Chains A and B, each alone.
Chain A
Amino acid sequence: MLKFEKHTLKNGLTVIVNYDSSTPLVAMNILYKVGARNEDENKTGFAHLFEHLMFGGSVNIPSYDEPLQRAGGENNAFTNNDFTNYYLTLPAQNIETAFWLESDRMLSLAFSEKSLDVQRHVVVEEFKQRYLNQPYGDVWLNLRPLAYKVHPYRWATIGKEISHIEQATMNDVKDFFATWYRPDNAILTLSGNIQPETAFTLSEKWFGEIVSRPLKNKIIPQEPPQTEKRILGLQRDVPANTIYKAFHACSRFDDDFHATELLADVLTGSKSARLYYKLVKQDKIFNALSTYFTGDLDKGLFIIDGRLEEKISFQTAEKALDAELAKITSELISEKELTIVQQKTESALVFSEMNIANRALNLAYFEMIGGAELINKQIESYRSVTREKILSVAKNIFRQENESVLYYKTKEEKK
């Protein structure tokens, strides 16, 4: 049970505090409700590029990092399809430095040309390092547009192509800031050695005067149901053939969400999970096999990712995989399988509450999806999933017409 207090400023900024006197530190987390799904299809990768620019100085403070490090703090940020998240931890007595820094960059950035120029290069190098210069690095760049034809999830957070990043202009940057970086589009959370009243007072002092701009919410086009199986073959300089199956699944807000997460665990959540045990250990079809559910705010994907054993063909591998999927869509899982995945999930949740930075992030995330109090209802939600529910979810997901398959082939194999 995570205790917290919540307060909303007049400008719409939500502030949530989890007080913990056992630590000398405080973690602060600011979540902005903007991600790659909010981008224009001709300017992809922008939410993430913008995250880099948030460190290029703000209107009154030339450097973000320097004062924070001088205060003994450390910070980072990440962007995904749905939101952009900034987080820091520092000694509790210096928390005001965090309020000063974060409020100034919410107020306005410095919009320095040098910073934009350098960060374009840095992000291009990030693109190369993570997506181009890695074996299997471009899988998501190809799998997303195969599975999504309409929804902005069809591009990766890094962007569709390097040229989108290279062409970003200062006007784009200013426009993006004005549209999304507003107090009423953000959630501020704190966890650690700070009393809620202190945090609320400091929030009023530093963030209270920031004016909310009118909201220009663009409607995100939703993906229509897929009607036939899609197939893509790629050939790359990689050592092992790999198959990726992507099925459309539910959104984070759907009743099926918890059952879908448990389904992924039932299949490959541990070495005794059924798909892993059968296809990796027993039949030696795959060398590595995992399944996961993206759990995005809009309808996400259920992914099966399997690296084939050396002498196994794609055909054999897919047949074996489909036979297992046929089982999970026609028979109930055992009581024991359900108990195991529920127990594992519960213990993972308890472990995730240990760290103050995690707590601050989780509070912000749950506030975004409907209210921080949901954080304390998770265990109950997973416990109430039944075997019948998992069967119905599996039936709904594992349909041929709902599937996109990527055959990622080694250079040697010709097909």
Chain B
Amino acid sequence: MNRTTEPALQLPDKITVPEPEVFELKNGVKVYCVNAGEQEILKLEIIFRAGEWYGDKIALATMVNKLMEAGTSAKTAYELSQAFDYYGAYIETECTADVASVKLFTLTRFAKETFSLLMEMLTDAVFPEEEMELFATQNIQQLRINRKKVEYLARVKFNHLLFPSGHPYGRIADEESYRQHSQNDLKKWYTEKYSPQNCLAILSGKTDDNTLQYLNDTLGEWKSKVQHQPVELNYPSEFIPQKSFIPVEGAVQSAIRIGCRIPNKLHPDFASLTVLNTVLGGYFGSRLMSNLREDKGYTYGIGSATVSMVHSGYFFVTTQVAATVKEDALIQIYKEIQILREQEIGEDELQLVKNYMIGTLQRSMDGPMAISDRIKSTLIYGLKMKYYENYLHVIKNISPEQLIHLAKTYFHTERMVEVVAG
């Protein structure tokens, strides 16, 4: 047998991008439904435009999102938690700078009971003072621990420099952040933002004949207490390229973060930039990994990413390296970025990256709950799942000439934010 020759490869020309079924509940809430999978389980995610973007009070959006679990007028936090536990269901809350969401994971046979409990949280949370205090002490202790981590120090400073002047994407919480909000602040935010006019729902997993009916009987019955007012806010779109060093006594490794702003998903260049980024630091065989880890052994890992947020986007390189080699690590990172601007990517390397990315796209849509995440990450931009067909088209067709042009347009080594901690 010939073990030196690679078996023949085949890559899919088309990827099936599943379109969700869309239902409108009695009260007008739209539900995007992915009914698939073998297991009798469901995920219901309800998404609100209630991230930090929509206010100027730091950490308030997160506190409301997390403390919805902390009791209703009928149930204490303990009773509410036990009620979900009783059905083996669990709740996950998530608050990004853009959106806040509540996710319910349940066995399909308990949909009726658990949907009702979820609605209780969404409509009747009371934010008890003692739960607010517990939240504060837990977050303050976690903050103190995080401040001992070079990776954390570099990350928050980097975000702050990239999104300065109170921009919601760059705010840094401090110990006071968790104690400055009153119960009324929380209730006001909750009432204004968590409303049927400000939400959409994604249901994924194996539904049965009754699932949608249960949803209509619960989420569909929700009436707003106040008229929802869409908020439009503006923050500066500029940042000042600069270098920042945070000394950390006794650190054996330094955390490095380098990057700049780029357009988000709504811009046609975002998909192409993701290809360029993958070449640089987006997969195990990337140039940064090959150079700093596999050739020099400076680090356990190095990567780069393109991040899309609803109102902006950014690109960054991140790593933790032996403190003794941080200067050369910086030189190597800038060198690799500079090469993207000066030399065309070879055909073989580009083909490998394209194939890898097509596989990654397929993996990201495997199974109903993975698909629901993809739906969410298009819906919040007002995009449809067609976005991924276009994304696939970009991956397959982008040329080395286009990529070098892109690097020259967006990646200026002298116009980056650079943070080193430790």
Contact = CB atoms under 8 A, between A and B. Distances in A.
Interface of A: 20, 22-25, 59-61, 65-67, 69-75, 89-91, 93-94, 96-97, 99-100, 103-104, 107, 117-123, 125-126, 128-130, 132-136, 205, 209, 237-240, 269-272, 277, 280-281, 284, 287-288, 307, 309-310, 336, 339-340, 343-348, 350-351, 353-356
Nearest to B79: A272
Given A93-B10, A272-B82, A351-B105, A72 B148 contact: no
Interface stretch (B23-31, B83-91, B184-192, B380-388): B83-91
Contacts of A350: 39-41, 107
29 contacts: A24-B12, A25-B362, A25-B363, A59-B3, A69-B353, A70-B9, A71-B355, A72-B358, A72-B360, A72-B362, A74-B284, A74-B359, A89-B359, A91-B10, A119-B297, A121-B296, A125-B299, A125-B320, A125-B321, A134-B148, A238-B148, A239-B148, A270-B85, A271-B77, A272-B79, A272-B81, A347-B88, A347-B89, A350-B40
Interface of B: 1, 3-4, 6-12, 15-16, 36-41, 69, 77-79, 81-82, 85-90, 105-107, 134, 137-138, 141, 144-145, 147-150, 250-253, 283-285, 293-300, 320-322, 351-353, 355-356, 358-360, 362-363, 366-367, 369, 422
Contact of B3 (A61, A91, A129): A61
Contacts of B9: 70-71, 94, 97
Nearest to A134: B149
Contacts of B147: 239
A103 B7 CA distance: 13
Contacts of B150: 133
Given A73-B359, A125-B299, A135-B148, A281 B134 contact: yes
A97 B6 contact: yes
By Cβ-Cβ distance, the 9 closest A-B pairs, closest first, are A72-B359, A121-B297, A347-B88, A239-B144, A343-B88, A272-B82, A96-B7, A126-B300, A60-B3
Contacts of A97: 6-7, 9
A121 B298 contact: yes
A103 B295 CA distance: 26
Nearest to B43: A351
B38 A20 contact: yes
Nearest to B283: A69
Contacts of A69: 283-285, 352-353, 355-356, 359
Contact of B39 (A91, A103, A269, A351): A351
Given A20-B38, A270-B81, A288-B141, 7 more contacts: A24-B366, A69-B284, A72-B355, A100-B3, A100-B7, A122-B293, A350-B107
A70 B352 CA distance: 4
B320 to A, nearest CB: 5
Contacts of A23: 366-367
